[in-house]
Structure 1
Amino acid sequence: MIGVRRFAQWGLWFGGALVLLAAVLIGIDVLMRKFLARSIGGADELAGYSLAIGTTWGLGAALLDRAHIRIDSLYVLFPQKLRLALDLLALVLFTAFFALTLWHGLGVVGQSWTSESRSQSALETPTIIPQFLWIAGLVAFVGIAIVIIVQSLRLALAGDLNGMAQLISTRSAEEEVEDEIRDLKGRQDREGSA
């Protein structure tokens, strides 16, 4: 799982960098329009590509960190085995949805490749480039999700319900507080050593 986490973290940084670059590009474009009455042509198109690609590349890390949003009002009242069964079902359905999206996305990418499609903007971007990066992010996410499903099933068969819960369940308030305290201590240590 360490290799999977490292790969997901790399994807998260890649996706985050794309979104940050898109924000900078949009900011520059807005300033240019305001003060120079000029525009960077295609900034909105590039930002759209960045958002789509960045999102898919961040999904795996969010899944590993259990950061996807869930509504758990009643969930916390259920016994642990029922919660874990619901968590596993949710993970399987979540993965199936993105696998279906991936399947249909591959058809779109294939069509763009064979027809040599280009965007209809002034940039005339070959659509295969952003689509390929987007689909690669989906492949990475579905792969990570399958690894997590297999690992959670192994933990379930071994009777390690706590390990399974730490892998696929929603984060408890205690876990979130512990993470915040750990982050705070890390920041204090870095500031103290500087």
Structure 2
Amino acid sequence: MMVVVVTIEVLMRFFIGQSLQVAEEISSLGLVALIFLSLPATFRSRGFLRIDALYRLFSPRVKTSLTRVFLLLSLPVVGVYVWQLAVLAFDSWRRGTRSDMALGMPNFLPQAVMVAGVALLAVVIVAAIFAPGRSLQHSGEEEDG
């Protein structure tokens, strides 16, 4: 979507000398959606940055326990993000704030996407905590072989 909008914007400016006037706003919304809605999938595919130089030295049982502890510790952090983003989105909705760009998009729309992405990340983390031992053991480690 973002590529299409930006390409149309560039072509219009080059050939007609006119602008869509909305390319930046649409691209920004697309970028917010891409980043925040991909958080759960990134977690599930083990795409988050990890430093595991010592982690590799532990037995599978210890790895599983450590992973569960780290996931439990991450929940309050993710919870604070969900809460604060929800407060921000609600305030924007209540005040009726809009972007100052051509579309004048209500600010709560991209903020609601942010809330949804982080809330889904929390759900995926909870699922990983309560997953059977094998799934939890491999939730953050590369498979051998």
Q: What corresponds to 1:164 in structure 2?
A: 136
Amino acid at match of 1:147: A
Structure 2: how far apart are the matches of 1:96 and 1:132? 20
TM-score (norm 1): 0.65
Q: Return the offset for 1:163.
A: 4.0
Does 1:95 find its partner at 2:75? yes
Q: Cα deviations across residues 75-105 of structure 1 (Å, max 9, x unaligned)?
A: 2123323322332233233333222111100
**Cα root mean square deviation, aligned:** 2.1
Deviation at 1:108, TM superposition (A): 0.5
Partner in structure 1 of residue 100 of structure 2: 120
Q: Aligned partners of 1:89 and 1:33: how far apart in 2? A: 54
State the structure with bigger RCO (CA 8 A, min sep 6), 1 or 2.
Answer: 2
Q: Distance in 1 between matches of 2:126 and 2:70?
A: 13
Establish whether residue 24 from structure 1 lines up as the match of residue 21 from structure 2. no
Letter in 1 for 2:142: R
Measured after TM superposition, the shift of residue 149 of structure 1 is 1.4
Q: CA deviation at 1:119?
A: 0.5
| Correspondence 1:111 to 2:91 | yes
Structure 2, unmatched stretches of 5+, are none
Question: Which structure carries more helix by proportion?
Answer: 1
C-alpha distance in structure 1 between counterparts of 2:17 and 2:30, whole Å: 25
CA distance in 2, matches of 1:164, 1:129: 34
Once residues 91 and 106 of structure 1 are traced to their aligned partners in structure 2, the CA distance between those partners, rounded to angstroms, is: 22
Q: Is the contact made by 1:56 and 1:141 (CA closer than 8 Å) also made in structure 2? A: no
What CA deviation, in whole Å up to 9, does each residue of 1:125-155 have, x standing for no partner?
111222223322222221222122122xxx3
**Residue 126 (structure 2) aligns with:** 146
Equivalenced residues, count: 145
The one-letter code sitting in structure 2 at the alignment partner of 1:169 is G
Give the TM-score normalised by structure 2: 0.83
Instruction: Give the structure 2 partner of residue 39 of structure 1.
Output: 19
Identity of aligned residues (%): 26
Letter in structure 1 aligned against 2:45: D
Runs of 4+ off more than 4 Å: none
- Mapped to 1, the partners of 2:109 and 2:12 lie a distance apart of 27
